[in-house]
Amino acid sequence: MTSQPPPPSPSEQPPVQPGAEAVPTCYRHPGRETYVRCQRCDRPICPDCMREAAVGHQCVECVREGNQSVRQAQAPLGGAAVAKPRVTWALLILNVLAYGLEYLWPDILRRFGTSALEIYSGEWWRLITGAFLHASPLEGSFSFTHIVFNMWALYVIGPELERRLGSVRFAMLYLLSAIGGSVAVYLFGGLAMTVGASGAIYGLFGALFVVSKRLGFDARGVLWLIAINVAITFVFPGISWQGHLGGLVTGTLVAAAFAYAPAKNRTVVQFGAAAAVLVVLVLLVTQLPPLAIPGL
């Protein structure tokens, strides 16, 4: 039997040939070979796990962590930044669809228009539904003028206010202004039934003035706009001054709360103020009878 020579010591072993070392694999897909590493954590990543970075590539987890640390863009007066004024477009569509529905169901005005007596008897939804209806298409050219003016004003003013306030706050402003106009009609409108988005639109007029002042813009043009429309309200017959002025006052108050809320706890103050306005409007309807209708 011949004896075998002892194995060489580690220092005597031959060097590893180039290319013989272990090939790195993706940390998420161990079966995939890769020589690309994440620029942040230095882990190997395959093409499916690569994300473009300012320099090189990053892995999925590092990109996710980086996005969480990036502060989201905000509208000037709070809320998320608005790229497209979707709330404005949604309100336009709702008003136009409601106007088209009046052709198919003429009785909709009687059932859902703003009427003090019906609201007093418990049909509270008329406070908001009447703000999405307009003069009947069967009444001639005035009805067309009615909705065209309101929708043109919403188209012109809405996107600017939505971008300044953020979509959620803009929606709250519009709806509270609409309800404020309806509450004024309930209290001071008498037996007349009213419809139209004018209360909400006048609320936007007031808000545009407040926001312009807050952001340092020249608001004189807005004052002229408000003055002219208020004059029209009292000069031409058949226009509900109650709805217009109620919406104007409500929208101005809500916009002031949004625009001048302190930077600290801004969202809490803004939403709290909007809720307080809504509570006041609800109390006016539930605790007071229509003031312009004797005997109630």
Same domain assignment for residues 165 and 269: yes
Q: Are residues 156 and 253 in the same domain?
A: yes
Task: Report helix angle 198-214 to 167-188, nearest 10.
Answer: 130
pLDDT at 260 over 50: yes
Identify whether 198 is a catalytic site residue.
yes
pTM: 0.76
Q: 104 and 176: one domain?
A: yes
What does the pLDDT read at residue 85? 95
Q: To which H or E segment does residue 67 belong?
A: helix 60-69
pLDDT given for residue 5 in this prediction: 53
Q: Would the pLDDT of 276 be above 80?
A: yes
pLDDT at residue 13 is higher than 50: no
187 and 256 in a single domain? The answer is yes
Mean of the pLDDT values across residues 43-68? 82
**55 and 93 assigned to the same domain:** no
> Do 31 and 178 fall within a single domain?
no
User: 52 and 185: one domain?
Assistant: no
Is 261 found in the same domain as 145? yes
Of residues 136, 167, 177, 198, which has the active-site annotation? 198
Confidence category of residue 200, pLDDT binned at 50, 70, 90:
very high
- Taking residues 42-55, report their average pLDDT: 83
- Residues forming beta bridges with residue 194, ordered by sequence position: 114
Concatenating the DSSP letter of every residue in 205-264 gives HHHHHHHHHHTT---HHHHHHHHHHHHHHHHSTT--HHHHHHHHHHHHHHHHHHHT--ST
Q: And the tokens for 236? A: 């031409």
Find the domain containing 52 and state its range: 23-60
Q: What confidence category does residue 35 fall into, taking pLDDT thresholds of 50, 70 and 90?
A: confident
**Percentage with pLDDT > 90 across the chain:** 60
57, 134, 146, 244: the catalytic one is 244
Q: Residue 15: inside a domain, yes or no?
A: no
pLDDT, mean of residues 258-272: 95
pLDDT of 55 over the 90 cut = no
244 is known as an active-site residue: yes
Percent of the chain with pLDDT over 70: 88
Rounded Cα gap, residues 264 and 258, in angstroms: 13
Tell me whether residue 260 is in a domain: yes
Whether 11 maps to a domain, the answer reads: no
Beta-carbon count within 10 A of 85 CB: 19
* C-alpha torsion 122→99→104→192, nearest 10: 40
CA–CA separation, 173 and 235 (whole Å)? 27
